Amino acid sequence: MNTSKNRLYKHQDLVIRIFLVLFCTAIIVYFFPKSDRFKYDYAQGEPWEYETLYSPFRFAIMKDEEELAQERLEVIEQTPRHFYSIDIDQNELLENYDQSLKAGLADSIYDKYNRKIKSSVKEFLSNTYRQGYLEDVQDLKDIHPIVLKTGDDELQQLTYGDLITPKELNQQFVDLFADFPKEFNGVLTRRLKALIEPNIFYDQPITDLNIESELEKILPTRGLIAQNARIIAQGEIVEGDKLQILNTLNSTYESQTWSDSQYNWKLLGYVILVGMALTMLMLFIKKYRTEVYLSNKKLLFIYFNICLFAILTAAVVKLDAVFVYIVPVCMLPLIVKAFFDARLGLFSHVIIIFILSFVIPSSAEYLFLQIMAGIVTILSGKEIYKRANLFVTVGKIVLVYFISYFAFYAVYQGGITGWEWDRLLYFTLCGLAMLFVWPLIYVFEKIFNLVSDVSLLELSDTNSKLLKELSNKAPGTFHHSLNVANIAETIANEVGANAMLVRVGALYHDVGKMANPTYFTENQGNGINPHDDLDPEESAQIIIDHVIHGVEIAKKYNLPDRIIDFIRTHHGDSLVYYFYKRELDENPELDESLFRYPGPRPYSLETAILMISDSVEAASKSLKSPSSVAIDKLVENIITTQMNNGQFLNADITLKQIEAVKTIIKKKLASMYHLRIEYPE
């Protein structure tokens, strides 16, 4: 059991990579459309360019959406609306009206006309409620059928025009009181209008249920096509019923042709093909990008992007394959190149295009267009952090799409008349979508804690706000940082490290000295040293604090964590030896932790390079006679001391690389001091 655990632990990285490939394969295949693709490509209004097509099986013709929509509209318009009636106490209403008139009319007028008014209103109420008064007016024609449910649950078949609405009721008021004197005619009308109530109400729930029931009766098909019946002959125009029959055959092909066994075999084929493609990508990374292969986080980032664009494209294909060119697949090589390099970006792009070609109609056209666009993306995607360059890249990609589509259309159709202008719009939208690569790179930097070339190039600008502040407050430190950056970048290029990352880390590694610039010798231009007035412990603490201040300033200016790592580690946990030695001479039992940097030690090749470059460049300023012998001795002593103190134990740097660093840094310092290296005979 222990042997098995040890073996698993020993190969855990390999297990993780295998699992990553298998998991991504499963995710991509899961989102792939599982239906079988119709092997013919056709478009409305164009001639059928294939052999005469016969029905492979018996199937019903599906109605198109326009036809179904028209049938639904007719059902909605013709379905009866439901209403219900309630009983109104007419005697109580008449009594209330009589009381209202008695209070509103003079006694002489009331006594004279009371009986006639009462008789007329009673007959009016009887006729109105017998016919039915609807106050909630519906948007229906008078001839629209309705169903009226009475108080005794009887259903009456009527038309909407049989009901009295407020507009008709107002006219009846006019007719009702036309024979009465005009001076109190308005009072009679207003009093009755205020008291009369509707007795018919619209039954919305029952009506909706009835309409829904009728809509469910609509058949999605019309007519049948017998097996082996001719569907369309070569040269015939794809339109009308022929177009609808082809669409039906296309949509029902899977259910009529694939059994469960065939479906499982097809699924297995997808898994094998996608798995092979992702495995080839992993092998490429292992052979040519070892530093990426050894980082689980970087591998996860690459495969995450592969899955992201594969799933996005598969979702669009499921929705409607015609929109597939809107998906900005060429964003993938731009993203990979921004974080790694162009070669890996192009290889990743080719892999995902191969994967997507399994499920996209006209896969040959798609394959050619996208690979050409990917190559153009890689070739023209230099300095993407500059807005103009990205716009130029997008313009070139869209132009490649246009030209390639024009060529394919000319090949397939023998001309360019009648081509799909919508396709050009999709290409343009794809280009516009690629402009979102900037915010997407920013999001990926935060999620995966990676630093892209875009951010590094921006940070390397010495006109940035923080570096300008450093040059103003601590000009000597700024000049020192530039020298360290040049040395470290040269070393990184030679030993295979990330040169841009090292350079940016070097530029910002001493920003903490801005807090107390005059306490560092490179900024003491007037010959006054403030440390002369301090004891060694206080001086050491000020020197040590520049690391802490640097981290605080870096966070304040939102520098990436990978750059802050250079600030934390560029002195490791080494001693501030000068002040420690001074204090040690007076106090032999001195606690050396008071004179030691907080660390941590460098834990990457890049941070180790910076520590060496920083220490050697700073120490070289103390050489009174910077000869080649003196430089050799200085470099050897500093790097050997750092090695003996264990500063590189956590860093991914080999002894061979350290020897290479020594050689490079000696040459670099010699060139800075205008010396000629003395080579052995």
Is it the case that residue 676 has pLDDT exceeding 60?
Answer: no
CB of 54 closer than 8 Å to CB of 304: no
Cβ distance 56 to 382 under 8 Å? no
Sign of CA dihedral 375, 380, 386, 390: negative
Q: What is the pLDDT of residue 677?
A: 47
Question: Does some domain include residue 179?
Answer: yes
> With contact defined as beta carbons under 8 Å apart, do 506 and 668 qualify?
no
Identify the domain boundary among 417, 448, 479: 448
Assign 673 to helix, strand or coil: coil
Same domain? 421 vs 362 = yes
Nearest Cα to 619, choosing from 632, 608, 607, 635?
635
The number of domains in the chain is 3
Angle between helices 331-339 and 296-319 (to 10 degrees): 170
DSSP 8-state class, residue 593 = G
Q: Return the sign of the alpha-carbon dihedral for residues 65, 69, 71, 72.
A: positive
Average pLDDT over residues 570-597: 83
What pLDDT shows up at residue 517?
A: 92
Query: What pLDDT band is residue 349 in, cutting at 50, 70 and 90?
Result: very high
Backbone phi and psi for residue 186, each to the nearest 5 degrees, phi listed first? -65, -35
Residues 508 and 535 occupy one common structural domain: yes
* pLDDT given for residue 58 in this prediction: 75
Is 124 domain-assigned? yes
The pLDDT assigned to 673 comes to 75
Average pLDDT over residues 101-123: 81
Between 107-116, 335-344, 382-391, the lowest mean confidence (pLDDT) is in 382-391
DSSP for 493-535 reads HHHTS-HHHHHHHHHHTTGGGGSSGGGSGGG-TTS--GGGGS-
Identify whether 241 is part of a domain.
no
**Burial (CB count within 10 angstroms: exposed 0-12, middle 13-18, buried 19+), residue 528:** exposed
Highest mean pLDDT among 96-110, 113-127, 326-340: 326-340
Query: 200-202 and 81-85: which strand pairing?
Result: antiparallel
The pLDDT-based confidence of 643 (bands split at 50, 70, 90) is very high
| 352 occurs within a structural domain | yes
Do residues 464 and 440 share a domain? no
110 and 81 belong to one structural domain? yes
Name the 3-class secondary structure at 145: strand
Check whether the bond before 600 is cis (ω within 30° of 0): yes
pLDDT value of position 414: 62
Percent of the chain, pLDDT > 70?
Answer: 91
Supply 623's token pair. Answer: 């050489």
How far CA 545 is from CA of 105, 471, 514, 548, in Å, comes to 99, 19, 11, 5
Is 28 in the same domain as 85?
A: no
Give the end of a domain, one of 423, 448, 473.
Answer: 448
Q: Which residues pair with 271 in a beta bridge?
A: none
Q: List, in sequence order, every residue forming a beta bridge with 82; answer none if it has no partner.
A: 147
* Same domain membership, residue 464 and residue 553: yes
Q: Check pLDDT > 60 for residue 4.
A: no
Higher pLDDT, 230 or 420: 230
User: Is 419 found in the same domain as 353?
Assistant: yes
Tokens of residue 414, six digits: 């023998």
* Comparison of pLDDT for 495 and 387, the residue scoring more: 495
Decide if 350 is inside a domain.
Answer: yes
Residue 33, pLDDT score: 75
Say what angle helices 387-413 and 421-433 make with each other, to 10 degrees: 160
Angular region, 45: left φ>0, alpha ψ -120 to 50, beta rest: left
Residue 679 pLDDT > 50? no
State the chain's mean pLDDT as an integer.
85
The answer on pLDDT for 586 being more than 80 is no
Q: Show which of 419, 448, 477 is a domain's final residue.
A: 448
290-312: pLDDT as tens digits? 878 988 999 999 999 999 999 99
- Summarize pLDDT for 13-48 with one digit per residue, the tens: 888 999 999 999 999 999 887 655 566 767 777 777
- Say if residue 260's pLDDT is above 70: no
Domain with 369 in it: 2-35+260-448
Please state, in angstroms and rounded to a whole number, the distance separating the CA atoms of residues 28 and 19: 14
Residue 598's alpha-carbon distances to 463, 513, 572, 575, 577, in angstroms, are 31, 16, 7, 10, 14
- Which ranges constitute the DSSP H helices of 178-257? 182-195, 204-216, 240-257
Residue 419, both tokens: 């081509």
pLDDT value of position 385:
55
What angle, 0 to 180 degrees and rounded to 10, lies between the N-to-C axes of helices 65-78 and 204-216? Answer: 140
- 84: pLDDT strictly greater than 50: yes
| pLDDT tens digits along 518-577 | 999 888 877 788 888 888 889 889 999 999 999 999 999 989 888 999 999 999 999 988
Note whether residue 67 is domain-resident: no
Query: Do the Cβ atoms of 223 and 59 come closer than 8 Å?
Result: no
Rg from Cα positions in the chain:
43
- CA–CA gap between residue 566 and residue 448 (Å, rounded): 18
| 356 and 407 assigned to the same domain | yes
For residue 54, the 8-state DSSP code is E
pLDDT in tens, 394-430: 888 889 888 888 887 777 666 666 566 778 888 889 9
**Tens of pLDDT along 499-508?**
889 999 999 9
% of the chain residues with pLDDT over 90: 33
Q: What one-character DSSP code corresponds to residue 80?
A: P
Do 436 and 387 fall within a single domain?
A: yes
CATH number at residue 505: 1.10.3210
What pTM did the predictor assign?
A: 0.57
The whole-number pLDDT of residue 486 equals 94
Cross-sheet strand order for the sheet of 145-149: 155-159, 145-149, 81-85, 200-202
Task: Give me the mean pLDDT over the 627-635 stretch.
Answer: 88
DSSP annotation of 52 reads: P
Q: State both tokens at 117.
A: 């008014």
Closest CA to 406 of 363, 354, 448, 368: 368
155 beta partners: 149
Q: Looking at residue 180, what is its pLDDT?
A: 79
From the list 393, 507, 389, 381, the residue with the least C-alpha distance to 456 is 507
With respect to residue 223, please indicate whether it lies within any of the assigned structural domains.
no
**What does the angle CA 109 – CA 114 – CA 115 come to, to the nearest 5 degrees?**
140
Same domain assignment for residues 607 and 540: yes
Question: What pLDDT was estimated at residue 151?
Answer: 75
Digit-coded pLDDT (tens) for 140-153: 888 899 999 987 77
Question: Is 99 in the same domain as 209?
Answer: yes
The pLDDT value recorded for residue 233 is 82
Q: Which residue has the higher pLDDT, 488 or 455?
A: 488
207 with 80, same domain: the answer is yes
Tell me, yes or no, whether 68 lies in a domain: no
51 or 500: which leads in pLDDT? 500
**Do residues 660 and 494 lie in contact, with contact meaning Cβ atoms separated by under 8 Å?**
yes
Asked if residue 430 lies in contact with residue 396, where contact means CB atoms within 8 angstroms, the answer is no
How many CB atoms sit inside 10 A of residue 13's CB?
12
